[in-house]
Structure 1
Amino acid sequence: MDEVVIRLNAKNHGAFYLMHEGEQTGEMIISIADNVLTVYHTEIDPKFEGKGLARVLLNGMVAYAREHQLKIKPLCAYVHAQFKRHPEEFADVWLKQEGEQ
């Protein structure tokens, strides 16, 4: 069973980690400030790529943002692409930048 865990330092910088049977299989680098969760980068261990694990991380991060009433600023190319591909699914948490559709 895959588990998404968050670890933040005192400045609210850190990551969501995807754990599979005690092994870290992916991470999503983030920071939180002023009710905005900024996502910088998503990475899945190459031996686990192609199994939909980035989406598992994305879903865990979005659930956390909703639970804590945060808006998401998707600077990560993967997260931004998913938000653009499924705007209705993420409309409540997506902090769009000026001029973004």
Structure 2
Amino acid sequence: MPETQMQVDFEDGETGGRYVIRTSAGDAETTFSKTGDKIIIIDHTDMPDALRGQGYGAVLIERIVADMREQSKKIVPLCPFAASQFRKHPDWSDVLN
């Protein structure tokens, strides 16, 4: 599914939040924790089986990277999926902590 068709919602809380794509097959989400004002830790990506392999996870991580760049924040990709995306995108090194 092309990225332009995916609506990514952002939910922010005091200590963390999530990015989510809602579909009829379930929610694809990546959650994060905050460590201070300038660093987030991507701690989990969850994908319904019906959505696996269709690019939803990559869209979520790309959105987080774009948002953190815009906010001058750094990312610790603790989640194995997020870490693998960072290895595939050396151009994201500017947001790595």
TM-score range, shorter chain: 0.7 to 0.9
1:1-101 superposed matches below 5 A: 1-9=5-13, 11-20=14-23, 25-32=27-34, 33-87=36-90, 89-95=91-97
Q: TM-score, normalised by structure 1?
A: 0.80
- Distance (Å, rounded) in 1 between the aligned partners of 2:26 and 2:16: 18
Q: CA RMSD in A?
A: 1.7
User: Which amino acid is the alignment partner of residue 43 of structure 1?
Assistant: D
- Distance (Å, rounded) in 1 between the aligned partners of 2:43 and 2:95: 16
Q: Could you say if the C-alpha distance between residues 13 and 19 of structure 1 is closer, same or farther in structure 2, counting changes exceeding 3 Å?
A: same
Q: How many residues in Structure 1 have an aligned counterpart in Structure 2? A: 92
Q: TM-score, normalised by structure 2?
A: 0.83
Give the CA deviation at 1:19.
Answer: 2.9
- Distance (Å, rounded) in 1 between the aligned partners of 2:32 and 2:26: 17
User: Which amino acid is the alignment partner of residue 31 of structure 2?
Assistant: I
Alignment gaps of 5+ in structure 2? none
- Distance (Å, rounded) in 2 between the aligned partners of 1:34 and 1:2: 28
Give the CA deviation at 1:81.
Answer: 1.4
Alignment gaps of 5+ in structure 1? 96-101
